[in-house]
Amino acid sequence: MSIRYLEKDRIFWLDTPNTTYLLGIVAQEGFLGHLYYGKRLETITGARELFRVTEPPFVPEKNDRDRSSFFDAFPFEYSSHGVGDFRESSLRIRTKSGHSAVSLVYVSHEIRKGKGKLAGLPATFGKEDEVTTLVIRCIDPVTKLEVELSYSTFEKVDAIARSVRVINGSLEPLYLEKVMSACLDMEARDLDVLTLHGSWARERRMERKPLGHGKFSVGTQRGESSHQEHPFLALLTKNADQTMGEVYGFHFVYSGNFLAQAETNQFGNLRVVMGIQPEDFCWKLEPGERFQAPEVILTYSCQGLGGMSRSLHDLYRNHLIRSPWLHKKRPILINNWEATYFDFTAEKIVDIARESAKLGIEMLVLDDGWFGNRFDDNRSLGDWWVNEEKIKGGLGELVSKINALGMKFGLWFEPEMISPESRLFEEHPDWAIQIPERRPCRARNQLVLDVSRKEVRDFILDQVFRVLHSANIEYVKWDMNRPLSDLGSAALPADRQGELSHRYVLGMYEMQERLLQEFPNLLLENCSGGGGRFDPGMLYYSPQIWCSDDTDAIERLKIQEGTALLYPLCCMGAHVSVCPNHTVGRSTPFATRGMTALAGTFGYELDVTKLSDEDKAAVPRQVRAYHAFHDLIREGNYYRCASYLENHEFDCYQVVAKRGEAALVFFTQVLATPNMHSRCIPLQGLKKGTNYRIFLVNLDKEELMTDTGRCVSGDLLMQAGLLLDRPWGDFQGRLLYLEETP
C-alpha cells in the first residue's frame, strides 16, 4: 500500500513512486507532527528521533513549565494559533466570547482507496487502483472544533494532494478567520525560493531568490489568482536547475484570493503554509456546519525543476482535467478580436471564415461585441442577447453559414461582469458587488456581478444557455476582465460579509459546472484578461486557458516558459497574430510566430483576408505541422534546455514521446551574435543506446520536413549536445524533429 500506519511507532508512512512523506503522533495529548518529506525510503527505523522530544524542552507532560518552548519549536503537521506557537498559524477562529486560540490533537484516522470529491471545489481525482487517501481527524478540546486533514497519494505520480475540512462541533457559532489548506514544517537548510509574478501581458515570470530568516510570502486579494502573483511556491537547493538538485513544489488548486508563505525561525525551522488569503476572510460556521478548504498539491523532485514540471504535468493530465477534449486535437481556431475588435458585421465575419476555411483553419470564434448595445467596452455587459444590427438574422443564420464552410463556431462571453450602462444594471443595480454609500471602483468601466447569489447565477446562465441553444456553438471562451474590489453583497448579513470573496469563487465554479452539464461536449477555454486566472482550479473545468493577451512571439517565450514550468503545453492557449504586434509593436517572422504558437493549443488572431500572399501561403504549412505534431506536443514529456529569460539570447525546449521514440526541439534565436560558431545544446529524455535521425521542420516551405542527413546517438545528444546553427538575423526559429532509427 502507498499509505500505511505503523501502530507501534504511531507513524503514518506515505509513498509515491519516488518520494516518501512521514508524519506521526507525539505525547499523551496526541500532537500531530511532521517527520520527513523527500526521496523514497525503503526503511524508516529511528524516524521518531526526528521529533527531538528526548531533548529539551521535551514534551509537555515531562516539562509543562516550558510548554511554550515546545509549541514554538515542534514541527506541527497543522499549526496552532494563540497557545505558544509564534510561527505562522494554519487555523484561526473567533468564538462568541472573542477568543481566537486553537490547538489540535489527534483523534482517529482512516485509510481508504480512491479519493472523494471536495464539495463545491475543483480537485484531483482517481480510481481506487490509482489513488489512496488518508484522513486524520483532530479536535480542539476546548472549542470542540473538529478538523479533518486529508492526504491523497497517486500510484504513478510523485504528488500528494492535501486538503482540510473544518466542522463546528460546539453548540454555538464559530467564525473562521483563517483556514490554510496545507502546512509543512521541516529543516530550513540553505534554500532558494521560486515564484511566478507578472502583470497583464507579462504573466508568470519566474523569479528566484535566497530564502533567509523571517517570512517570505506571495498572495493576492484581487478575487482571482491574478496576473500579478501565481498560487505557487517552490523551495530549491542551491544547486538545483532543470536537471539536478532538490525541489519542493506547492501549488494551490483554487481560483481566488490566496496566500503562500515560507518562514524560517530562530531555530532553523522552516514552515510553509498555503491556503485562502486570510485578509478580508471570515466565515461564520453554525453548529454542525462544515467548511471545506481547497486543495494543495505537494511535489518533491530530486531531478531539479524538470522533474517537478513533469510530475505536475502528468498529475494534471491524468487526475485534474476532465474534459472530453483532453486527449484530442483541439480545432485550429481563428479569433476575430485583433482582426476587427468591435468593428464588424456578420458579412465581415463570414469573409474571415471563408478565407480561413480555404487555408485549413477549422473554427471561427466571435469575440466581444456581438451582444446588447456593445459597440465598445463601456456598456452592455450582462445583456446577453444578440445584437441584430451587427448580426442580421441572428447567430443561427451566421453559424449556419460558417458551418456550411466546414468550420466550427465559438463564442466569447464575460458572464461575471456587469456594465453600469446596461439593461441588467438598470433593473438590478443591487446585483453588482459594491458597498452602500461608497462610490464603486470601476475597471474597464465595468463592475462585478455578485455571483455568490443564486438568483444572479440563474439569471446569467439562463441567458447564456438561451444563446448557446440558439445555434451550433461548439466552443466558449469565458472571460473575466477585472479584479474584485468594494467587497459588499446586498444579500449577506453583516457578520457574513467576510464570506463574499470565497462565495464568489464557489459561485463561479458552480456556473461553469452547470455549463458543462448542459453542454457536455463543449470545448471551454477560460480567460481573465489573458492569464489572470490561469490556475489549477480552472483546469478542472476547461482543458485550456488563454495564456496571455500578449501574442508577441518573443514575449510569449518568457510567458510560456513560466506557464510550462507547472502546466502541460496542451493547456496553453496560443495564437499567431499580425505584426507589428498590437501589444509591443515588435515585428517577427511569420514562421517564428507559428512555431511559438505550436507549443500551445494553436490558432490565429488576425484578419486573414488582409495577410500578404507570402504569409497566407504559410498558414496551410503551419496547419499541417500542427496536425503532424500536436499529439506529441499534447501527450509528451517536457524538457527545458535553455531559457531566454536567463541568457537573454536564445530559447530552447523539447517535447519527447513517452517511450522516447521521437522528440521535437524548439529553438528560437532572439538576438543574433556575430562571429560565433554553432550552438551546442545538451538534450534530455532521449533513449540511451539509440540513434536518432534529425529532420528540419519547415513552416515556410511546401515539404513538411527536410532530412538533414544527420544521425546522432541519444547518448551523445544528451551528454555532448545537439549542434544548432546560428540563423542570420534576430527572432529566428528552428523546429527539429528527432526520430528513432535502427
> Catalytic residue positions?
479, 549
Q: Phi/psi at 715 (nearest 5 deg)?
A: -60, -45
What are the two backbone dihedrals, phi and then psi, of residue 393, each rounded to the nearest 5 degrees?
A: 90, -10
Q: Specify the 3-state DSSP secondary structure of 476.
A: strand
Helix or strand run (H / E) with residue 515: helix 500-518
Cis peptide before 580 (omega within 30 of 0): yes
DSSP 3-state of 733: strand
Residue where the block lists cell 462610490: 439
Query: φ, ψ for residue 562 (rounded to 5)?
Result: -65, -35
383 within 8 A of 423, measured Cβ to Cβ: yes
> How far out from the chain centre does Cα 435 lie?
31
420: preceding bond cis by omega (within 30 degrees): no
The 3-state DSSP class for residue 307 equals: helix
Alpha-carbon span 342 to 335, nearest angstrom: 12
Cα 211 to Cα 35, 191, 260, 263: the distances in Å are 21, 6, 14, 9
The identity of residue 738, as a single letter, is: L
Distance CA 279, CA 500 (A): 12
Contact between residue 124 and residue 295 where contact means Cβ atoms under 8 Å apart: yes
Any idea which residue has 497543522 for its cell?
Answer: 78
3-state per-residue secondary structure call for 343-368: CCCHHHHHHHHHHHHHCCCCEEEECC
Within 245-342, where are the H helices?
Answer: 304-319, 337-340
Q: Is 55 helix (H, G, I), strand (E, B) or coil?
A: coil
Phi, psi for residue 451 in degrees, rounded to 5: -80, 5
Beta-ladder partners of 667: 652, 734
Cα–Cα distance, 4 to 111 (Å, whole number): 8
- What is the CA angle 524-154-185, rounded to 5? 105
User: What distance in Å separates the CA atoms of residue 270 and residue 87, rounded to the nearest whole number?
Assistant: 10
Over its C-alpha atoms, the chain yields an Rg (Å, rounded) of 27
Segments of 221-293 assigned E as strands: 232-237, 247-253, 258-264, 269-276, 283-285, 290-292
Task: Return contacts of 145-152, CB within 8 angstroms, 24+ apart.
Answer: 145/93, 145/102, 145/169, 145/170, 145/174, 146/107, 147/78, 147/91, 147/104, 149/32, 149/77, 149/78, 151/3, 151/12, 151/14, 151/21, 152/115, 152/124, 152/126
* Cβ proximity of 529 and 481 under 8 Å: yes
Helix (H, G, I), strand (E, B) or coil at 620: helix
Tell me how far apart the terminal alpha carbons of the chain are, to the nearest angstrom: 40
